[in-house]
Amino acid sequence: MSARCLPALTPPLALAACAPPIQTPDPLPPREIVTPQQWAQQCTDWDEWDKPAPPYRIHGSTYYVGTCGIATILVAGDGGHILIDSGTEAGADVVLDNVGKLGFRPNEIASLLHSHEHFDHTGGHALVKRASGAHVVASPQAAPVLRTGEDDPADPQHGLHDAMESVPVDVIVRDGETVRSETATLTAIATPGHTPGALSWAWQSCDEAGNCLSIVYADSLSPISRDGYRFGDHPEYLEGFRAGLEKLRAVDCDILLTPHPSASDMVTRAAAGSMVGGMSCVDYADAVEARLDRRLAEEAGD
């Protein structure tokens, strides 16, 4: 059936009289969810970035839909899903396939968020945007990187990565602002350091029994750089780095997730059958700051 517009005297009336065509949603895929233990059986510590992995429920409406080596997190909602990170360009195909395996429609991803703006975590954004029409949400510092595909000159790793496919950014989110669905409110935490525009995310996820847990997806935050870069030569950047770590220490954190699963022992916890416990946000922040302090000591000794 084709939709037809009624004749009208002025363009505004013409637009009002023309209803959009009726669309039939894609059928829901069959549900193929696995247990965390089954995921851990197929993945190892520091696994390959694009190695396919099955999706599993973390808690409530929060699911792991990434590859073995790169995390991608889905927060499902009846009116649209939230996806954090897309993985590499090749890994994004795995992510979309995993969303379908959970019994959700990939084209109902409404918001696409990021941890940090490197190709291994946002290289698949353009593909996910085309597949879903999701609003791309970015920090002010990460937005130019996503829009151009080029690293920020202020990035400690600037010049080390190939360009990503560019993607339009629809929404800018700043520290403390939120992205919401019916099932969760995700709060952005500015945690620059690994990159200038890095974000961590915190939310509560509740299961069918009403058991709610605080989940934090904490950015990588490792003080890695190109040759010749010295964190000590950038005091303002270093101040922001440490401030982000303080924010992580202060947030409620029943379940810690990270863009590289092994950075927070996710494989070990999944193998034990529960993502609750293990490394805390305080433990994670302390470990990162210890690495940063060692790096600064090495720079001072050069």
List active site positions: 116, 118, 120-121, 194, 229, 260
Q: Which two tokens stand for residue 57?
A: 């429920």
Cβ neighbours for 139, distance < 8 A, ≥ 6 positions apart: 114, 172, 173, 174, 188, 190, 197, 198, 199
Rg, C-alpha atoms of the chain: 21
Rounded Cα–Cα distance for residues 175 and 51 (Å): 33
Q: Which helix (DSSP H) or strand (DSSP E) does residue 294 occupy?
A: helix 281-301
Closest to 203 measured CA to CA, from 84, 102, 36, 289: 84
β-bridge pairing 185-190 and 178-180 = antiparallel
Task: Tell me which residue has tokens 């996910």.
Answer: 128
CA 89 to chain centre: 14
